[in-house]
């Protein structure tokens, strides 16, 4: 099941009651694409980080979340910390390669720039298999692959001013 045309996707701030659906989406995508490259410590760390209670706590502090949804379900999510670091970005398997992650990223960057107009960079610890997607969104590698608490990632950054005219916020 894929969205056709892409206009069927709504991008918005999630309701508090949707946290469980967001967690399920991330669990499913992680298990399908990322977990096979992780050791048990990394898998445990990830699942600990995406617990519903942990997300709710982060949202009260210094994080924000946006989702992509059809009329039926949430199909994508982005979480940003301190208006300068992408913490999580996931799109369900059947909705990948349709530009959903890019639009979520553009909207998140717009929020970051609205809150921090002097923002110079946005960082991400990208899963190594997601490098092509992040590169396509304008991120550049800032270091080599690392392993921290079982989590594999490549540090990357984006300089938002370059594409500011393309970014819209609601």
Task: Answer yes or no: is pLDDT of 165 > 50.
Answer: no
Look at residue 161 in the predicted model and tell me its pLDDT.
67
For residue 63, tell me if it sits in a domain: yes
**pLDDT tens profile 118-140:** 999 999 999 999 999 999 999 99
Does residue 167 surpass a pLDDT of 50? no
Buried b (16+ CB within 10 A) or exposed e, 117-142: eebeebbbbbbeebeebbeebbbeee
Q: Flag whether 103 is in a domain.
A: yes
Contacts of 66 (CB under 8 A, 6+ apart): 11, 12, 13, 14, 77, 78, 104, 107, 108, 111
Residue 170, pLDDT score: 47
Q: Does residue 138 form part of some domain?
A: no
- Domain presence at residue 154: no
Residue 131 in any domain: the answer is no
Q: What is the mean pLDDT of residues 154-163?
A: 83
Average confidence (pLDDT) over 55-60: 95
Tally the domains of the chain: 1
Within a domain: 18: yes
Quote the mean pLDDT of the chain.
91
Has residue 136 been placed in a domain?
no
pLDDT at 58 over 70: yes
pLDDT for residue 78: 99
pLDDT in tens, 80-110: 999 999 999 999 999 999 999 999 999 999 9
pTM, two decimals, is: 0.89
Provide the residue range defining the domain that includes 20.
Answer: 6-120
pLDDT at 2: 53
Q: Is residue 150 part of a domain?
A: no
**CATH code at position 75:** 3.40.630.30
């Amino acid at each position: 099941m894929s969205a056709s045309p892409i206009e069927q996707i709504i991008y918005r701030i999630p309701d508090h009651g949707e946290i469980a659906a967001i967690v399920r989406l991330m669990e499913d995508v992680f298990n399908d694409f990322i977990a096979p490259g992780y050791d048990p410590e990394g898998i445990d760390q990830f699942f600990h980080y995406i617990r519903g209670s942990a997300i709710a706590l982060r949202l009260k502090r210094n994080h924000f979340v946006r989702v992509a949804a059809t009329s039926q379900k949430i199909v994508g999510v982005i979480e940003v910390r301190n208006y300068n670091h992408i913490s999580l970005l996931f799109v369900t398997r059947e909705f990948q390669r349709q530009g959903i992650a890019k639009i979520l990223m553009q909207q998140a960057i717009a929020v970051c720039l609205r809150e921090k107009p002097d923002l110079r960079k946005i960082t991400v610890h990208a899963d190594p298999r997601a490098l092509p997607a992040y590169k396509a969104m304008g991120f550049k590698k800032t270091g080599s692959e690392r392993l921290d608490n079982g989590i594999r990632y490549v540090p990357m950054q984006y300089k938002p001013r370059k594409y500011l005219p393309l970014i819209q916020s609601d």
